[in-house]
Structure 1
Amino acid sequence: MIRLLQRGGRFVVSFGIRSVSGAMSELSGNSNAPKDETNVGIGKRKRKHRGLDAGDRYVPPPVKRKPGISFGEEHFRETESYLENGLRKVRPYYFDFETYCKGRWVGKTLLEVFSAEFRAEPLEYYRQAAQAGRLRLNEEIVRDLNVVLKNNDFLRNTVHRHEPPVTAQPLRILAESDEMVVVDKPSSLPVHPCGRFRHNTVIFILGKEHNLKELHTIHRLDRMTSGVLMFAKTLDVSKKIDEQVRERQLEKEYVCRVCGEFPEEEVTCEEPILVVSYKIGVCRVHSKGKPCKTVFQRLSYNGKSSVVKCFPYTGRTHQIRVHLQYLGHPIVNDPIYNTESWGPSRGKGGSIDKNDEELLRSLVEEHRSKNSLDVLDVTEEDLQLSIKRKSDDKGCSETQPVARENLQKSGDSTNVESPAALKTLEASRENDQSDGENVTNNVQENKQGLRDLLCGECKLIRPDPSPKDLVMYLHALRYKGSDFDYSTEMPDWAQEDWQLDLK
């Protein structure tokens, strides 16, 4: 299970199991999971705790986490995937977003927190979600959003989750041994659960469809990047390869198709790269960035675009893509670094006529107008909160914007269900025998119908992206270490006579 924890003023993602016995399945969203006897509605029982005044609310101490990533059958059973029109899709499912109370929330009411930080839904939605039994505070259903939050409060919000589709190209296993698993990752498929993606990820597909679990991520590829991706089966193997990475013993070779005629001679770019936004995933060349180095060699030129081999000697975020943009030869269909948002020169030579906030707004607006925000896996609300945090916390780590993924689903703002539908939901609540059954009954009623009374996404009709729009022309061709060498074939778009360029 994944959680966002507060440690020493920082926010850290933790993976593990929240409790040993009687706890709901972590990250499963399975409201039918066995519940501990303490999981009953507020006011259903009396507790005696020393040092508490009459009427004061008891907050249990935080529970230690078990390190490591572990997804089991209960997680894989949350939903199912299917192929349609060249896309891999996931049926909507119920899911629990969870978080401990942030320091800035202490002393504020739940209503104030939702109003200030979780604005993807109107306040009325959260009131109705509370009445439907979907909000829990320290595993107790909370109906009153005026409850004042305390340090160590643990919040859980059950939502109806929709995942964006990815390309239907299969995840191909290149090699498997007692120590490692190596796959050829398709473009558009994230490596691990993040943002709106969970079941449409490499980790979940390997676990659910190939029975490969408890894997250790050795390196990551951008969601839109395809190619060689390695996993270790043991911690010792993972540490051994990590050491090779630190000692610069790991050789990496990528191939891409870029705009224009790339120089015939070898080109080395050592411009420093700065992360503009971790949440949205945008970087730029900047003097305050981290040092990095990429070597480029042209393979072919077809009169419009060039196929280029890339040798990154460091592993900065979006390093190849940012360096190619700086050189004036961005990847042909890069949805971030080859867009009009960067100005007339599209970022060549580091020339950008916007500050960071203006750039982020422009990028999101450009994709919103093209109805392609799923390509970025962001919403306008993501941008608003990310910029707000940057303004409030100058110089702080940008892990905070990720916190908005807790307690609310990602998706465009929508109106809540009609009054008639809400009356139906209210009627179903009145038939419940206990507070703890509200969400469970609702899940059972809606699981097969794939429609939820409070879910705004269920009311939207989104056009499917074209499969070609989910493929970016950047591919991890080869990874070589001291005792291994894995590679894939050249992708179709990297062939010398390929002419189907985008206009």
Structure 2
Amino acid sequence: MTNNLPVIVFEDDDFVVMDKPSGLLVHPSWLSKNDDDFAVDQMKRYLNVDKIHNVHRLDRPTCGLLLFAKHVDAAQKIGLMFEQNLIEKNYIAICRGWAPSSGEIDYALKPEHDKIANKFSNPVKEAQDALTHFTCLKQSQIEIELNGHPTGRFSFVSIRPKTGRKHQIRRHFKHIHHPLLGDTRHGCNKTNRTLKDRLNWSRLALRANKMQFLHPYSQHLISIEAPRSIEFDFMLNQLDLL
């Protein structure tokens, strides 16, 4: 067992927010056979408690803001706010191609069925409404042979999901033909291989960088922002997107 401690971005009597690194699972699951540390473990070590309440999740490869509740009542209140889409979340990402200056992706998504994690559930489910807003912050074109083209085009985007479906951002950007870089499940494998070979980049270019909500006890507006990581800035610089 490792003794890593989380990078804390926000904390009060009821909630604590960490900056989760890419590759760290939130909690043990069927995916975690070879893992000995999780975000919940790091938070419990930091707070020196036996129990902590994780009220939402980030995919393993996604980095950024991850909120925990310190007690049951706080977990119930903030959990309901997540369910009602009252938590405003913002992400930054790098995608392939030149994304539009701004847009709305209104595309229903069927729940993803995993044969191991969801083996006892019905694999056939109705598609659920899913809505994502985005703004293109910068576009670039660099001299790197990509998918048969002599140059590669990329976009740095800011993303505001209005619903919270599994892999929503990754699936929505695949739908509009601008897959996120480093996405091994919904991205472009050829693009990912080229970037790994030429630029030594293999991580998912998706970061949860902002969160805003009305505190359920004080009713004060809580705005939390995490700076870009060194790894994310490295990729932005390599693709001329800074």
Matched, 1:234 2:71: yes
> Cα 1:213–1:254, aligned 2, differ >3 Å: closer, same or farther?
farther
* Equivalent-residue separation in structure 2 for 1:234 and 1:218 (angstroms): 11
Q: 2:2 aligns with which of 81, 104, 109?
A: 81
Q: Residue 192 of structure 1: which of 27, 50, 54 is its match?
A: 27
> Match for 2:9 among 129, 149, 174?
174
Instruction: Report the equivalent of 1:289.
Output: 127
Matched, 1:258 2:95: yes
Kindly indicate whether the alpha-carbon contact (under 8 Å) linking 2:209 and 2:228 is maintained by their aligned counterparts in 1.
yes
TM-superposed deviation, 1:239: 1.5
Q: 1:498 aligns with which of 217, 237, 240?
A: 237
The two structures, once aligned, show a CA RMSD in angstroms of: 3.0
Deviations 1:448-473 (A, max 9, x none): xxxxxxxxxxxxxxxxxxx953x311
> Deviation string for 1:61-92 (max 9, x for gaps)?
xxxxxxxxxxxxxxxxxxx338xxxxx9xxxx
Aligned counterpart, 2:147: none
Q: 1:475 to 1:280 in 2, by over 3 A?
A: farther
The one of 177, 201, 211 aligned to 2:38: 201
Cα distance change of structure 1 residues 280 and 479 upon mapping to structure 2, 3 Å threshold: farther
Residue aligned with 2:104, SS: strand
Distance change in 2, residues 1:276/1:242 (3 Å):
closer
Q: 1:312-331 residue pairs with structure 2 within 5 A?
A: 312-331=161-180
SS state at 1:479 partner: strand
Contact 1:183 1:230 in 2 (8 A): yes
**1:293-332 alpha-carbon deviations (Å, 9 max, x no partner):** 0011101112231111111111000000000000000101
The alignment's TM-score, normalised by the length of structure 1, stands at: 0.38
Tell me the secondary structure at the aligned position of residue 295 of structure 1: strand
Distance of 1:220 and 1:269 partners within structure 2: 22
Q: Structure 1 or 2: larger helix share?
A: 1
Instruction: Give the aligned partner of residue 485 of structure 1.
Output: 223
Check the 8 A contact 1:199/1:205 in 2, yes or no. no
Deviation, structure 1 residue 497: 5.7
Aligned to 1:474: 206
How far did residue 289 of structure 1 move? 1.3
Q: Whose strand proportion is higher, 1 or 2?
A: 2
Structure-2 separation of matches of 1:318 and 1:280: 17
One-letter code of the match for 2:97?
A: G
Structure 1 contact 299–308 (Cα < 8 Å) conserved: yes
How many pairs are equivalent?
Answer: 207
**Aligned mates of 1:171, 1:307 — CA distance in 2:** 27
| Letter matched to residue 228 of structure 2 | M
Please give the alpha-carbon distance, in whole angstroms, between the structure 1 residues aligned to 2:98 and 2:172: 16
Q: CA deviation at 1:244?
A: 2.1
Contiguous gaps of at least 5 residues in structure 2 = 118-123, 142-152, 192-199, 216-221
Higher relative contact order (CA 8 A, sep 6+): 2
Residues 354-402 of structure 1: per-residue CA shift (max 9 Å, x gap): xxxxxxxxxxxxxxxxxxxxxxxxxxxxxxxxxxxxxxxxxxxxxxxxx
Contact 2:24 2:60 in 1 (8 A): yes
Matches within 5 A, 1:73-472: 80-81=1-2, 171-197=6-32, 199-208=36-45, 211-264=48-101, 266-279=102-115, 288-303=126-141, 304-340=153-189, 469=202, 471-472=203-204
Aligned to 1:121: none
Contact 2:93 2:206 in 1 (8 A): yes
SS in 2 for 1:322: helix
1:289 partner amino acid = A
Q: Normalising by structure 2, what TM-score?
A: 0.75
Query: Which ranges of 4 or more aligned residues in structure 1 deviate by more than 6 Å?
Result: none
d(CA) in 1 for partners of 2:125 and 2:154? 29
How big is the shift at 1:336? 0.9
What is the rounded CA distance, in whole Å, between the counterparts of 1:205 and 1:287 in structure 2? 35
- In structure 2, give the amino acid aligned to 1:229: L
Q: Deviations over 1:402-445 (max 9, x none)?
A: xxxxxxxxxxxxxxxxxxxxxxxxxxxxxxxxxxxxxxxxxxxx
Q: Structure 1 residues 280, 187: CA separation in 2 closer, same or farther (over 3 Å shift)?
A: farther
Alpha-carbon distance between aligned partners in 2 of 1:232 and 1:260, rounded to the nearest angstrom: 39
